[in-house]
């Protein structure tokens, strides 16, 4: 079933406004963001007022109702600026929205989606100290208690945890590892529920302003209506389906940031002179610029195709994995070339190239490492070949 999304003219006008906002407001505030270690409060308020936390929420719940192509286009434009701006909104409009819309009860949708659309911040609790891609190793438990559940465990590297109002927590409802990961259920847990605590924000290589931390659950009691969909055993399926959106979001972020990096690299190459002329005139510099442009274009094409398939209702597990893998690796290569174009200056904090290089390294790791994407792609190829 095709998803038409927002009216095309309204969407185009929104993107045009967003492009101006990114360049005139968000980019100039990047140094302040780095110094604070978070998105400044005034900018966060503006992002809420612009509806950026609800772009994919259905219109009946206060959102803009963007389809996948429009959502990815939005991320691509927002990610031209510091990754922290995308990070603060992406969990709401990507993985958590997808999970609630796809699997939530009518009551859960009515309760949570309007709050998230208005700017209540969500976190997605899947990864653990000893469990990320391996759900069988998940230790967080949810034990039935009367008409509710008691949750115990620790989630690690959880984006937005220090700011979150709600956490979508994956937990075992069966001690055994069941087929198709039916031992994993999902719970909508308010951040202020007794027993929920947040660890100290982790120091990171890059992406200043985007905070991650542990989420510790100690005898956290939730009512039965916190169980996503009111059904045990669907948590991993919800997580995996929402991860398609998450992977497209990271791919879009990789493309958006790579475009920014290339623009900065080109500007430097035009302004920096050596042997009496701009270094952009040197063919080996031109090769790095051209390779970067071609790879960004290729990733853009992959994104557009994967999103179009998703909007037609097709399953895009392999396409999302392939796009995330290529785009994130591409972004790393562009960052490396931009540092190289800057020469010694590229290694100095005074120049943006150094920040770009650190910021984009995580794209090859979260929402499934490059190696996990390779396994997803290859296993599906083998399964399809075997019939």
325-365 pLDDT tens trace: 999 999 999 999 999 999 999 999 999 999 999 999 999 99
Let me know whether 55 and 136 are in one domain: no
Domain count of the fold of the chain: 3
| Domain-embedded: residue 1 | no
The pLDDT score that the predictor gives to residue 107 is: 96
Question: What is the rounded CA–CA span in Å between residue 169 and residue 152?
Answer: 11
Q: Are residues 381 and 242 in the same domain?
A: yes
CATH number at residue 322: 1.20.140.10
Same domain? 133 vs 153? yes
CB 287, CB 280: distance < 8 Å:
no
Using the 3D structure, point to which of 232, 249, 268 is the last residue of a domain: 232
The pLDDT value recorded for residue 241 is 79
Specify the CATH number for the domain of residue 179: 2.40.110.10
Structural domain boundaries enclosing 163: 123-232
| Same-domain pairing of 262 and 379 | yes
250 lies in the same domain as 281? yes
CATH code of the domain containing 60: 1.10.540.10
User: Which one of 120, 151, 180 terminates a domain?
Assistant: 120
Q: What mean pLDDT do residues 264-290 have?
A: 97
Q: State whether 113 and 175 are in the same domain.
A: no
Task: Say whether both 382 and 241 belong to one domain.
Answer: yes
Q: Looking at the predicted structure, is the pLDDT value of residue 196 above 80?
A: yes
Residues 254 and 310 in one domain: yes
Residue 252 pLDDT grade (very low, low, confident, very high; cuts 50, 70, 90): very high
Does residue 111 have a pLDDT over 80? yes
* Predicted pLDDT of residue 104: 94
Same domain, 196 and 226: yes
Which residues are tagged catalytic?
367
Please indicate, yes or no, whether residues 48 and 138 belong to a single structural domain of this protein.
Answer: no
What is the rounded CA–CA span in Å between residue 331 and residue 70?
21
Residue 302 has pLDDT above 90, yes or no: yes
- Asked if residues 80 and 260 have their Cβ atoms less than 8 Å apart, the reply is yes
199 and 318 within one domain: no
Closest CA to 84 of 201, 210, 205, 202: 210
Tell me if 75 sits within 8 A of 90, measured CB to CB.
yes
pLDDT score for 267: 98
3 inside domain: no
- The reply to whether 258 and 374 lie within a common domain is yes
Report CA-CA distances (Å) from 350 to 26, 29, 160, 344, 354: 19, 16, 28, 11, 8
Residue 18 belongs to a domain: yes
* Final residue of a structural domain among 206, 232, 258: 232
Work out the average pLDDT over 111-120: 94
Is the model's pLDDT at 208 over the cut of 70? Answer: yes
56 within domain boundaries = yes
Query: Model confidence at 1, in pLDDT bands (50, 70, 90)?
Result: low
Inside any domain, residue 228 = yes
């Amino acid at each position: 079933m095709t998803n038409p999304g927002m009216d095309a003219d309204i969407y185009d006008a929104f993107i045009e406004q967003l492009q101006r906002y990114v360049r005139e407001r968000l980019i100039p505030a990047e140094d302040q963001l780095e110094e604070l270690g978070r998105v400044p409060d005034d900018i966060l308020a503006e992002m809420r007022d612009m509806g950026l936390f609800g772009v994919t929420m259905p219109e009946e719940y206060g959102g803009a109702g963007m389809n996948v192509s429009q959502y990815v286009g939005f991320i691509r434009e927002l990610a031209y600026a510091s990754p922290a701006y995308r990070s603060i909104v992406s969990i709401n409009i990507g993985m958590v929205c997808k999970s609630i819309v796809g699997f939530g009860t009518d009551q859960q949708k009515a309760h949570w989606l309007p709050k998230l659309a208005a700017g209540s911040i969500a976190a997605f609790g899947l990864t653990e100290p000893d469990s990320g891609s391996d759900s069988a190793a998940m230790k967080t438990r949810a034990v039935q208690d009367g008409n509710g559940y008691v949750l115990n465990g620790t989630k690690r590297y959880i984006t937005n945890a220090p700011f979150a109002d709600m956490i979508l927590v994956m937990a075992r409802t069966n001690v055994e590892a069941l087929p198709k990961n039916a031992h994993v259920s999902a719970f909508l847990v308010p951040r202020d529920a007794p027993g929920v605590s947040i660890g100290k924000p982790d120091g990171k290589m890059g992406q200043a302003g985007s905070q991650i931390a542990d989420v510790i659950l100690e005898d956290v009691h939730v009512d039965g209506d916190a169980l996503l969909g009111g059904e045990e055993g669907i948590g991993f399926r919800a997580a995996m389906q929402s991860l398609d959106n998450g992977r497209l979001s990271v791919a879009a972020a990789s493309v958006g940031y790579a475009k920014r990096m290339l623009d900065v690299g080109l500007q430097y190459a035009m302004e920096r002179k050596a042997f009496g002329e701009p270094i952009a005139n040197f063919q080996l510099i031109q090769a790095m610029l051209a390779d970067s442009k071609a790879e960004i274009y290729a990733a853009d094409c992959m994104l557009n195709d994967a999103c179009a398939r998703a909007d037609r209702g097709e399953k895009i597990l392999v396409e999302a994995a392939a796009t995330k893998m290529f785009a994130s690796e591409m972004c790393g290569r562009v960052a490396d070339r931009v540092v190289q174009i800057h020469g010694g200056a590229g290694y100095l904090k005074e120049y943006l190239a150094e920040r770009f290089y650190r910021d984009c390294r995580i794209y090859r790791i979260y929402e499934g490492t490059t190696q996990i994407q390779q396994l997803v792609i290859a296993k599906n190829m083998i399964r399809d070949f075997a019939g």
